[in-house]
Amino acid sequence: MADRYLSFATSRVGGRVAARLGLPRPARLGRYRPGQPVARGPVVLGHAADPRAVKSLRAVLDRCGATVQEHPGRPGALLLDATGITATGQLAAVHAFFHPRIRSLLPNGRVLVLGSPPESAATPGAAAAQQALEGFVRSLGKELRHGATAHLLLIAPGAEEAMESTVRFVLSARSAYVSGQPLRLAAEVPAKVPAEVPADWDRPLDGRTALVTGAARGIGAAVAETLHRDGARVLCLDVPGQRDELHALADRLGGTALALDVTADDAVPRIAAHLGEEHGGGLDILVHNAGVTRDKTLGRMDADRWHTVLDVNLAAVERLTEGLLPAVRDGGRIVATSSISGLAGNAGQTNYAASKAGVTGLVRAFAPAVAARGITVNAVAPGFIETRMTAAVPPLVRQAGRRLNSLGQGGLPVDVAEAVAYFASPGTGAVTGQVLRVCGQALMGA
């Protein structure tokens, strides 16, 4: 269902009415289109204390074709290397850099702060100063207007050269519905297959095979389409009841379709057989998107509702990951779908929240277990996304879901798909064991 208020508030007349009445005025978000430049406008690059990433960051900006200027009239992005901050007093440099510039940021602009993981700090004071950056970025994300977003990138010592994929994602329109979130770059671990730099950043998945579960519609279909756009050949999987939509999607994308219940006892061997017959047996990207809801408060929730949700959303993810690992090529990518409900909880969703929190646990456990093969394991956690499922939510609840985030609107399936594609990129090898919230920076639990 279309967000009629968003359409009204972003129209010329509606915007004036909303402003006069003091109503929320969410911005129309700029989303990625192939061929767009990475940065929306000139980039201002600053640093504090003794930075260790600014040289690498400048090189990335040059490769992105970004224009770096010291005093542009309206910057498209503000970037600060704060990796060298080791004391509370040095945080004054953060205020000094952003204060005179933040109000001139272009609509749909970006803020990016580079920091160091607090746990790697040499002193308690340094850890406190670096942790302070997260509070700063989360708060700034809630202050920004006109579709602008803020991001924190924590770079482990030795990981400075692995930032390009992440910088491209957060500066570009691909991250339109992500704000106030930290991402971590780990120093490269010894692996059979080292992280790659894509030959073509517009098609980083060329030659790769991807499996997307729950692909027939909604977020799953958007993920399949986005991975295809980025060069992958996609195996689209969904339940037999969605067979027609599933095959239509696969045909449109030049991929293959498999109608299968992920909870079936023979799911793993059937998927493996299909991969062998249609895709040469190997798999580069595994996306766990299949999921269901069966909402009731716990006192009214029967056992079937509980078991169905846990089986589809969690047990199947564990079973398919373990069963298909032999087919996942070294250097592969595994991406699961969690939810902000699993991070913050939600009344009437004890089963769903438990399953999605469990996904986070799986991601964090699998990541180190497969790191030696160069495989990364991450999750996306959508907030309120405009799908058929949320269109069935009662109107007042639906409006609250749309408005209770920093961007004042619901996300689109493509917003989640862009985050999945970021994790799926061969250039994102330094990011693993993480959960990225695609929620417009939800005001509760984010």
Residues annotated as catalytic (active site), given as ranges: 352
Strand, coil or helix: 217 = coil
Largest CA distance in the chain: 62
Q: Residue 257 has which token pair?
A: 């379709």
How many whole angstroms separate alpha carbon 177 and alpha carbon 405? 10
CA dihedral angle for residue 224, residue 229, residue 235, residue 236, rounded to 10 degrees: 30
Report the alpha-carbon distance of residue 90 to residue 126 in Å, rounded. 10
CA atoms within 13 Å, Cβ hemisphere of 154: 21
Residue with tokens 């779908």: 337
Other CB atoms within a 10 A radius of the CB of residue 388 amount to 9
Tokens of residue 158, six digits: 């030795």
Handedness of CA 223, 225, 231, 237 (dihedral sign): positive
- In this structure, are strands 256-259 and 233-238 parallel, antiparallel, or unpaired? parallel
Nearest Cα to 317, choosing from 369, 357, 368?
Answer: 357
d(CA 379, CA 69): 35
What is d(CA 24, CA 65) in angstroms, rounded to the nearest whole number? Answer: 35
Coarse DSSP helix, strand, coil percentages of the chain, rounded to the nearest 5 percent: 45, 15, 40
Rounded Cα–Cα distance for residues 335 and 420 (Å): 7
The number of beta carbons lying within 10 Å of the beta carbon of residue 87 is 12
Contact 112, 133 (CB under 8 A): no
Q: At CA 376, angle to CA 444 and CA 331, rounded to 5? A: 155
* HSE, side-chain direction, 13 A CA sphere, residue 343: 22
Q: Are 400 and 423 contacting, i.e. CB atoms less than 8 angstroms apart?
A: no
